[in-house]
Structure 1
Amino acid sequence: MSLAFVHAHDCTQPHTEAVWGISWTATDAVVSVSCDGGIKQFASSTGQPVAAAMPPNHTLGLVSLSVTRDGTRALANSVEGLTTLVDLASGEVLGKHESFAGGNLNSDEDGGPSWSVSLHPEGTAYAASGSGGKVAVYSAQPEDFGTELSKMSTGRSKYGMFCQYSPDGKRIALASETGQIYVFDVEKATPTTTFTSHALAVRSLVWSADSSLLLSASEDKRLALHDVRDTGGPSGGAVATFTGHSSWALSVDISQDARLALSGGADKTIKVWDIGARAAVSTVQDTGEVWGVSWRPKPSAGGAGAFVSGGEDGVVRWWRGAGVTV
């Protein structure tokens, strides 16, 4: 089986440097963060910037982005660990937290500055990972933003490349520089599962909408699908692997119905995968490394849906399945 995806349009005001994070929100806008330090928000139907004034560019690049389930707030993290919460309707900055405060940038005791951040689905808290193999959970409430609520450790001092809350808010997944994936129980603040499905660093993780599946993208060029309800499967818990990228797999997403997956690679391609068939059903050529991909969260009127991508050239691009209107 193959699916046809075609280019719909580009954003009208690209970033000046690479897009490092992207999210198609429940309000049908797209939010992107960039190496140029900027946060942008676009209308999906036109690619035009949304009217709300966004915060001015940060002095250093933004490397991580997370958006609440209702699409009202975005969390961005900079390369040196400054975490910022933004109201997407007004562009107002609701909170900032300096995870590098005190000048202690590399301490395993405090986990070092944040690299990857992930909002709780309801926006009440956020998880952050970085050096030291730890995940810290902080308040995301404007009145006490950045107050530490809990800390979870893998027991290994390996860099936390990517972390993400499950959609039900009960788990946090952490990807490491050495290829392990750790799943933590949020209430107990303890690790429950370790997956050893990859040989190299895991660059991206995504949960299925029902919080039962976890898909990862790695520098070993592969994607791995894990069923968190069954840790006794092969390959350290992976129930399937997906191969086809000729270089690092950098970004990944799963459609709302868990039927299709997306991946962006350093090989300048975007691949659409049929999860049930365990096979690529479409390959889209981009102009550079694809650092971010995101499915449209709302069902499309027929067809296979639509997605958005961002990469090395700073352009946000919309893609649609045949017969689908963006």
Structure 2
Amino acid sequence: MKVNSLKNVAGAHNDGIWAAAWAPATDSRPGLLITGSVDETVKLWRGDELECERTNTGHSLGVVAVAAHPGGRIAASTSLDSFVRVFDIDSNATVTTLEAPPSEAWLMQFDPKGELLAVAGGGSCSVKIWNTTSWKLEQSLTVPKAENGADGKAADKVGLGKFVLGVAWSMDGKNLACSTMDGTVAIFDVGKGKLIHTLEGHNMPVRSLVFSPADNHVLFTACDDKHIHMYDARSRMLVSAFSGHASWVLSVDASPEGAAIATGSSDKTVRLWDLKMRASIQTVTDHTDQVWAVAFRPSGEGSSSGRLASVSDDKSISLYEYT
């Protein structure tokens, strides 16, 4: 397996690009790449050409995250303005706007069936789960602090919780993983609204995480400690730790067939990792600043080879062929 650089769009946004996600193809159009930037805009790009279809405005501060519904019709963006904007991908019409208190809307993801949208709650130490039919808040899952403090005494019960940065759904939609600023990863049973357990091993912010498409229990995490961890989220076991980046690992995504992961780092590189070898097999240096997001295109887009996109603080988008 390898990636080959296909195209790099310099100046794709007017400021650093922090977010990227693929909107699946529909009957009327191929898949689109969605990007979000500190310049307060969301842009949609034609997949293989990386030609801008449209620019969406509506946020008043930088865009933190973007997510696409699995049906390919709608998408959502979160911003430092504490709003989640849900919009129609083809018309840009606003479907709804979800308001959060300051610092309470970070990374997000639709569940595999498209029935729920999970939004990392940041300073609220929680994950908000919204029903995508009614757009009403269905659940709020709190990531608690440890039961005992550093001195072994019971933790203060007032204001319990950890700053929540990211979320990832298991492929069956039953479990939700939530990452935090202190490195803890919490695993929830969403149907029961219950914390199952936490995964330990990191001690710095985990900014990105993803479940393997090939296994409901395999979870990958990207951390400021320069490492990527591979966990069995059911048994809590740390299966493997990957190292190679020279600085913070800001993003991770899994290839559609589950044989590889890609990571982006503040060391300005994108790395491809072979999961059988459990090693980095390729380093790409297309960017001149930190890489905030990497995203594999979903399978079944009419091409014999896959696509991987990366976005950076250097205001550029890079597109790669993945084989």
What TM-score do you get using the length of structure 1 for normalisation?
Answer: 0.86
Shift of 1:49: 1.7
8 Å contact kept, 2:23–2:75: no
1:223 maps onto 2:209 in alignment? no
Within 1, Cα distance between the matches of 2:275 and 2:201? Answer: 17
The equivalent of 1:34 in structure 2 is 37
Shift of 1:10: 2.8
Within 1, Cα distance between the matches of 2:138 and 2:206? Answer: 26
Q: 1:30 to 1:175 in 2, by over 3 A?
A: same
The equivalent of 1:68 in structure 2 is 69
Within 1, Cα distance between the matches of 2:76 and 2:175? Answer: 19
Map 1:171-320; keep pairs closer than 5 Å: 171-209=175-213, 210-231=215-236, 237-285=237-285, 286-298=287-299, 305-320=306-321
Per-residue Cα deviation, 1:93-135 (whole angstroms, up to 9, x for no partner): 10101112xxxx4xxxxxx622222222233221122113211
Shift of 1:306: 2.7
Give, as a single letter, the amino acid of the residue that structure 2 aligns with 1:75. Answer: A
Within 2, Cα distance between the matches of 1:278 and 1:266? Answer: 21
Q: 1:92 to 1:4 in 2, by over 3 A?
A: same
Shift of 1:318: 0.4
Q: 1:244 to 1:69 in 2, by over 3 A?
A: same
8 Å contact kept, 2:63–2:77: yes
Q: After superposing the two structures, state which structure 1 stretch, 246-255 or 161-170, moved more.
A: 161-170
The equivalent of 2:111 in structure 1 is 120
Give, as a single letter, the amino acid of the residue that structure 2 aligns with 1:126. Answer: L
Within 2, Cα distance between the matches of 1:301 and 1:61? Answer: 33
The equivalent of 1:7 in structure 2 is 5
SS across alignment from 1:268: coil
Segments of structure 1 that go 5 or more residues without pairing to the other structure are 106-111, 232-236
Within 2, Cα distance between the matches of 1:70 and 1:211? Answer: 21
Identity %, equivalent residues: 26
Within 2, Cα distance between the matches of 1:12 and 1:246? Answer: 24
Give, as a single letter, the amino acid of the residue that structure 2 aligns with 1:137. Answer: I
Moved over 3 A (4+): 299-303
Q: 1:211 to 1:69 in 2, by over 3 A?
A: farther
The equivalent of 1:140 in structure 2 is 132
Shift of 1:246: 0.3
Q: 1:227 to 1:12 in 2, by over 3 A?
A: same
8 Å contact kept, 2:308–2:321: yes
- How large is the RMSD of aligned CA atoms in angstroms? 1.9
Map 1:80-95; keep pairs closer than 5 Å: 80-95=81-96
Give, as a single letter, the amino acid of the residue that structure 2 aligns with 1:91. Answer: N
Within 2, Cα distance between the matches of 1:294 and 1:118? Answer: 13
Per-residue Cα deviation, 1:252-303 (whole angstroms, up to 9, x for no partner): 0001111000000000000000011110010001221000101121268556
Shift of 1:226: 1.0
SS across alignment from 1:115: coil
Q: After superposing the two structures, state which structure 1 stretch, 22-31 or 242-251, moved more.
A: 22-31
Give, as a single letter, the amino acid of the residue that structure 2 aligns with 1:37. Answer: E
1:161 maps onto 2:162 in alignment? no
8 Å contact kept, 2:310–2:317: yes
Within 1, Cα distance between the matches of 2:303 and 2:95? Answer: 35
The equivalent of 1:109 in structure 2 is none
Segments of structure 2 that go 5 or more residues without pairing to the other structure are 26-30, 146-160
Within 2, Cα distance between the matches of 1:267 and 1:192? Answer: 34
Equivalent in 7, 16, 19 of residue 17 of structure 2: 19
Per-residue Cα deviation, 1:204-251 (whole angstroms, up to 9, x for no partner): 0111124221100000000001122322xxxxx210110000000000
The equivalent of 2:52 in structure 1 is 49
Task: Tell me the matched-pair count.
Answer: 299
SS across alignment from 2:239: strand
The equivalent of 1:151 in structure 2 is 140
Give, as a single letter, the amino acid of the residue that structure 2 aligns with 1:216. Answer: T
SS across alignment from 1:173: strand
